[in-house]
Structure 1
Amino acid sequence: MAKKADMANHIVTTAVDLAGEKGWRALTLVDVAQAARVPMAALYRHCPTKPDLLAGFSRMIDQAALSEGLPGADESPRDRLFDLMMRRFDVLSGHRAGVKAILRDLRRDPLTALLQARQLELSMRWTLQSAGISTSGLIGRARVQALCLVYGLVLRAWEQDDSPELDRTMKALDQRLRQAEQWQNTFGRGRGERRDEPPAEPAAQAGQEPTLH
């Protein structure tokens, strides 16, 4: 199982990094297989389409962010959320050129962007729940949507942030989370609420800003 996951991660990171050289729209599955040095059959087994490559990269980011463990229980919900979100941006920074190239092309490809919005919602549900913030019911769904919006806005700042410590990104994330916290205390309740079960496959979001998370 570990070898299968390693192969999938190798394929998707190769694809993202190659997008930094060729652009996402021009990139073909044959290009990815050749650069990753895997047979086309192996690529088909793991990622049969380009949207599958993006979804696989998103899952890899999720796993990397969660692998560091849960934030401290003594932190506020917003601080826990800040910690988890910054882990995501740290992972993205390791593939900056490719991620920026993909984001540019996704903004001209609404269908693929819509498919990625589905994955983004799932990622943000996991992030909220890992921060101890409930995502159940209508309020929980509103929190997920709000965090998706926050992520998309901060991603714009990250694209322009070349500082080693991601200072501009941290400042933008802190500002946006504080704003979201004021939206009827969206992220204000945390450990006191029942921790949800892992989220199911999300519904698509109309009009979501294209993101790669």
Structure 2
Amino acid sequence: MDDTADTRWKTDPDAPDAPDAVGNTVGGGGTDELDQRVAAAAMRLAAGQGWRNTGLLAVARAAGVPPGAFYRRFPSRSDVLAAVSRVADTAVLADDAPVGPDESARDRLFDVMMRRYDALLPYRDGLRSVVRDLRREPLTALAFSRHFGRSMAWMLRAAGVEADRTGGALFVAGLGAVQARVMRVFLEDDSADLSRTMAALDSELRRAERWAGALRRRFGRASPTESPPPPQGTGEAAGEPGSASAG
């Protein structure tokens, strides 16, 4: 990783209108645009040279963001990975269509998570590198876990499942476990319509629903149409940057 080589300020020549975009992004473009620029730059560099060889200063330069402004927003590597998640989460949450009364929680979660995978598609090559290299960065992975849990909680909310209720942390962990397994398929899914990812997600959500049913029978939990899936395979890291996966 090289965060210090070539201390002269420069921007990525491949970044469109980089000098003007710096002012717009940092000055008035908003957090969403800054996240998008940093996420795109970081994943582009990770795809080309590996995540472990991608330094924060290099990401700042490639994104066309002055180092001082970059530091205030992305002081650590986990914060850069969190930007990737926020871009995907924001894309999902932008569609606030009302939840259909006849849709099951599983169907709603399927729709939400597939929209999230669609949003992660532009970053997939970089995410492969993150997943591979992050095993050597346990502190980054640990730091990212907080961002990842927050992301999964918002995906539950987007599906009309309240993550703030009693036991919500269990459901957040459950969706994270589903994400861990499906993310591995997504990263290698070369089908035009992500059919392999869809099949894996459907299978994992159905399995989670069966676990929910078993817990409900044993402990009197609410219907899975009212609650998200419980954790399964909780020994696995979550499928996103910082939890042994990324996105």
Q: Same fold (TM over 0.5)?
A: yes
CA offsets 1:181-205 (integer angstroms, 9 cap, x no match) = 0113377132xx8xxxxxxxxxxx9
Which stretch shows the higher mean deviation, 52-61 or 170-179?
Answer: 52-61
Aligned-pair CA distance for 1:159: 1.4
Equivalent in the alignment of 1:49: 76
Aligned partner of 1:37 in structure 2 is 64
Aligned pair 1:211/2:211, yes or no? Answer: no
Amino acid of the structure 1 residue aligned with 2:76: T
Select the residue among 18, 21, 33 that pairs with 2:48.
Answer: 21
Contact 2:77 2:140 in 1 (8 A): no
Structure 2: gaps (5+ residues)? 1-26, 216-222, 228-233, 239-243
Partner Cα distance (2:73, 2:170) in 1: 33
Shift of residue 12, structure 1, vs aligned partner: 2.3
Q: Which has the higher contact order (CA 8 A, sep 6+)?
A: 1
Matches of residues 154-165 of structure 1 in structure 2 within 5 Å?
Answer: 154-165=182-193
| In structure 2, distance between residues paired with 1:49 and 1:110 | 13
Runs of 4+ aligned structure 1 residues displaced above 3 Å come to none
Q: Tell me whether 1:184 sits opposite 2:178 in the alignment.
A: no
Matched, 1:88 2:82: no
Which whole-Å CA distance do the structure 2 matches of 1:75 and 1:122 have between them? 24
- C-alpha separation between the residues in 2 aligned to 1:83 and 1:184? 19
8 Å CA contact 1:71–1:80 kept in 2: the answer is no
Map of 1:198 onto structure 2: none
In structure 1, the partner of 2:30 is: 4
Instruction: Give the TM-score of the pair, scaled to structure 1.
Output: 0.85
Partner residue in 2 for 1:98: 126
CA drift of 1:169 comes to 0.3
CA change 1:2–1:60 in 2 (3 A) is: farther
Alignment of 1:67-146 (within 5 A): 67-70=94-97, 72-73=99-100, 74-135=102-163, 136-138=165-167, 140-146=168-174
- Alpha-carbon distance in structure 1 between the residues aligned to 2:97 and 2:175: 18
Give the whole-Å Cα distance in 2 for the aligned partners of 1:67 and 1:156.
26
Give the deviation of 1:33 after TM superposition. Answer: 2.1
Root-mean-square deviation (Å) = 2.1
Give per-residue Cα distances to partners, 1:49-86, cap 9 Å, x unaligned.
Answer: 21111112211211111112246413221111000000
Contact 2:35 2:86 in 1 (8 A): no
- What is the CA–CA distance in structure 1 between the aligned matches of 2:142 and 2:236, rounded to whole Å? 8
The CA distance in 2 between the partners of 1:166 and 1:143, in whole Å, is: 25
Alignment partners' CA distance in 1, 2:143 and 2:60: 23
Per the TM alignment, residue 207 of structure 1 is displaced from its structure 2 partner at its CA by: 6.0
